[in-house]
Structure 1
Amino acid sequence: MKKVISKKYIKPLLVGLFFSNIATNSVQFIISLYILDQTGSTSLFANIMAIALISKIIYTPLSGNLIDRYSKKILMVVLDSMYLICTLILILAVHHSAICSVLIYNIIIGAISSAETPLVQASVPLLVEKQDLMVMNGLVSQMTVLSGILAPMIAGVAYQVFSFTTILLLSSLFFIIAIISEITLKIPMIDQEIKSSLANLKNVLTFLVSTGKKTGKLALLAGVINFIVTAFVEVAVPVLFRLKYHVASNIFGLIQAGLAFGILLAAMLTPLIVKKIKLNNVYILMMVSTGLLLITGLAMLYLNSQLLIISCIILSFVLVQFVFTVVSIAILSEIQGRVEPNMLGSVLAIVMLISMVALPLGEVFYGQVLAIVENNQDEGIVFIAISSVSMLVAWISRKFFK
């Protein structure tokens, strides 16, 4: 790992990514609190947040062409500069029309953020050798997870002490740090034939269903994982622990921290794990971890101890988060190693779009399912069903990494 992180052009990418994510996550977190405090309307809050997601979904498949066509370094600087400008404008506009300002901000930010993740992912193969992709993707994932943990903590504490606009100014400072770091980056430029966004999108889709079928299957696997596993954990954690078992808020916070730690630990250990078990055996990890969901389901069916059931749920969820983070990093590294650099950004944008659409669809599905279950037996059946489907997916995917 030292070999990768010591390279002088890697550090600016990680620093820029960290501070950019801290800023964007802080702004999104503080906007959600601000809207709820100002209006008291959960439906209005949900609609405003959904608009950002819709904007992101619309622009994501088109962003790949920009990533492949232009300098990735310049694009990173431009994106964070646009974040900075939009945040500064929001500071000035929010006092005149809070709801309208936040609405427009979210639409613009959704469009900007559509290029952010595939841009970073497409830059990684240009900065490290193929054998270092797994390590580098683990480092990028660590920065993302850390910023995701720290941003709500920083913004939440600051919101109790400072004003809304003061926190936006602090986030603007983080954007400036990210921009300064990204300016020092050196990313090789790839020659690219100029095409329209729609023509490029058609070309990428053709690649994924014909010459790059294995890459297309990996993209679908990422989406299926988000729909079946990730969405279930995200919905089940608050529903089960807060609504069903009435876990105290401080204990619930520790559970959330444990899940986040599982993701962070997976990002750190992915290269070592894959090296030990080999990439084509990753599906075994998937089957073992989802097998714990099966055991948890059986515990719900046959045990009466609430403490034991809660312990089983926590253990299974932490392991599932850990393993599927490893799988996600492995999928990303495989795609980066298989696709030519001149179309990697476009391919990764489609991969991101599939996963991004799958997650809310899964959340809606599981929200409906968990709303109609009435007792431990029903929930046990749900866990067993999800475990069975997940193990089937793991078994089918065993050939994808060969």
Structure 2
Amino acid sequence: MMEDRLKLKKATYHLWTFTISKLISSFGAQIYSFAVSFYILQLTGSATSFAANLICNILPRTLAAPFAGYLTDKYSRKIIAITSQAATTLAIAGLLTVTVTSGLSLAAVYTTSCILSLTSMFSGVAFTSSITGLVDKERIQKAMSLNQMSISFAAIASPAVGGLLYGAVSMPVFLITYMSASIIAILLESTMNFTLFANRKVEVKGEAKESMWQSMKAGIQYLKQNSLIVTIIWMALLINFLFGAYEVGYSFILIEKLKMASRNFGFTQGAFAIGMLVLSVYFSVRKEVKFPFRLAKRAFIGMGIIMGGAALPILISMSGTAVFVYYLVIMFTLGTMIITVNTPIQVMLQKQIEDDFKGRVFSIVETMAMALMPLGMVLYGFLYDVFPAQWILLLSASLFVAVTLILARPSVVRRAHPELSEEKSVSGEVARNF
């Protein structure tokens, strides 16, 4: 009993240390991203150069994710997380050195973006795979919610701080801020026990007994045995691709079509992060969701409706104030929908996937979720230049809802939650008795 109490006390420490570490590192990363985005646009004035940096942030992590999954399952997750954070610090230190000695350049920024993309992905997979080792099962939802809260809070605060600092201080100050945040995150992570509640059958001794290819095949084979996870992967692939219509179209419609002021546009972006934060707080204090897949299906349908609704101010005439308020509500609601999908599904996956396969499975989920995003951004960028924005959004939203209804059809929901069939049988029996 004494040992159990000590473990629960350590789990509480992990819960808050993990949250603070994520908050600090996310805040540093967001500040850096803000500064670099402004630098690229001011230096080149080119959307292509800006898009190239986005691709540097997405493509490396998509390609390397399967390898990260293999390493995470075969070696110490704590070492991988800390090494990744240390590599982040060194990459920023390298960029700082280049900036001070020879001046900042696009080549240096792109190279650093590629490195940071890789390190954040390795760190993310290691941490995601370790949640059930860091905290007890009863607090997995709270851990996932607090993690999302830290990211959302950083997303809200960092643009404001970045806006105040940019132009007032030099680029090296931004880089030193990020380095300092990264070092603090390393110190916090080094105090955590990643195997406190772990249930791994494979001993981690620093030596892999099977080849990388055999390990990846074993991960894919494990996935094939769980049809629900395969369904979630297909939904992530197709829905993220179709959601590109909103990601590209939202800025295009507000800035180019509706001529919204930059300050108001910034407020709508902030509303999205606030929506995510509010729902993260809600999930951190409520009991665990009973039917996560069914809830995620409903939230996806809600996202599809929001996508289509974003076209409304183009279709009907609205005042500038009404447009601003409308998109504030749209973005806030979208933020809540995304958390309603992500948190319950992540908790469900944490509980269903065996510890020895978590790294490979989560890396495959991440790879598939991001695989078509670059293509979606390029395709929708072209479509918005050729066709009316409202019809692209409405058609994509319809496909979004259709994909959700097909892949998460009632039979799949019942397979995910067999208790639903039992509840219906009991309610039917009660109805017959009356």
What's the TM-score, normalizing by structure 1? 0.86
For 1:365-384, list aligned pairs within 5 A. 365-374=379-388, 378=391, 381-382=394-395
**Deviation per residue, 1:282-333 (Å, 9 max, x gap):** 12343355345556667865x4445667655554443233123211222211
Say if 2:110 is the partner of 1:99: no
Separation of aligned partners in 1, 2:23 and 2:348:
24
Aligned with residue 94 of structure 2, among 74, 89, 93: 89
Judged with a 3 Å threshold, the aligned counterparts in structure 2 of structure 1 residues 279 and 273 are, in CA distance, closer, same or farther, namely farther
Q: CA deviation at 1:351?
A: 0.7
Q: CA RMSD in A?
A: 3.0
* Farther off after superposition, 134-143 or 103-112: 103-112
Judged with a 3 Å threshold, the aligned counterparts in structure 2 of structure 1 residues 147 and 5 are, in CA distance, closer, same or farther, namely farther
Aligned with residue 323 of structure 1, among 334, 337, 340: 337
- Which position in structure 2 is the counterpart of 1:214? 228
| Aligned residues of 1:218 and 1:335 also touching (Cα < 8 A) | no
Aligned with residue 12 of structure 2, among 7, 22, 25: 7
Aligned with residue 23 of structure 2, among 9, 18, 32: 18
- Which position in structure 2 is the counterpart of 1:71? 76
Judged with a 3 Å threshold, the aligned counterparts in structure 2 of structure 1 residues 185 and 240 are, in CA distance, closer, same or farther, namely same
Separation of aligned partners in 1, 2:94 and 2:314:
52
- Which position in structure 2 is the counterpart of 1:175? 182
One-letter amino acid of the counterpart of residue 70, structure 1: Y
Structure 2 SS opposite 1:10 = helix
- Which position in structure 2 is the counterpart of 1:166? 173
- Which position in structure 1 is the counterpart of 2:145? 138
Q: CA deviation at 1:143?
A: 1.1
Which structure is larger by alpha-carbon Rg, 1 or 2?
Answer: 2
Structure 2 SS opposite 1:8 = helix
What's the TM-score, normalizing by structure 2? 0.80
Separation of aligned partners in 1, 2:334 and 2:283:
14
Judged with a 3 Å threshold, the aligned counterparts in structure 2 of structure 1 residues 5 and 183 are, in CA distance, closer, same or farther, namely closer
Judged with a 3 Å threshold, the aligned counterparts in structure 2 of structure 1 residues 26 and 340 are, in CA distance, closer, same or farther, namely same
For 1:3-402, list aligned pairs within 5 A. 7-94=12-99, 95-96=101-102, 98-188=105-195, 190=200, 191-192=203-204, 194-209=209-224, 211-229=225-243, 231-270=244-283, 275=288, 278-282=291-295, 283-288=297-302, 290-291=304-305, 293=307, 303-305=316-318, 314-374=328-388, 378=391, 381-382=394-395, 385-386=398-399, 388-389=401-402, 392-393=405-406, 395-396=408-409, 398-399=413-414, 401-402=416-417
| Aligned residues of 1:265 and 1:322 also touching (Cα < 8 A) | yes
| Aligned residues of 1:145 and 1:260 also touching (Cα < 8 A) | yes
One-letter amino acid of the counterpart of residue 197, structure 1: M
Q: CA deviation at 1:234?
A: 1.9
* Farther off after superposition, 361-370 or 182-191: 361-370
Structure 2 SS opposite 1:185 = coil
Separation of aligned partners in 2, 1:274 and 1:360:
37
| Aligned residues of 1:4 and 1:135 also touching (Cα < 8 A) | no
Judged with a 3 Å threshold, the aligned counterparts in structure 2 of structure 1 residues 270 and 300 are, in CA distance, closer, same or farther, namely farther
Q: CA deviation at 1:341?
A: 0.6
Judged with a 3 Å threshold, the aligned counterparts in structure 2 of structure 1 residues 43 and 205 are, in CA distance, closer, same or farther, namely same
| Aligned residues of 1:291 and 1:391 also touching (Cα < 8 A) | no
Unaligned runs of 5+ in 1: none
Unaligned runs of 5+ in 2: 1-7, 418-434
**Deviation per residue, 1:107-150 (Å, 9 max, x gap):** 32222222122112111111223332222111111112222333
Separation of aligned partners in 2, 1:270 and 1:109:
30
One-letter amino acid of the counterpart of residue 343, structure 1: F
Judged with a 3 Å threshold, the aligned counterparts in structure 2 of structure 1 residues 167 and 222 are, in CA distance, closer, same or farther, namely same
Alignment size in residue pairs: 396
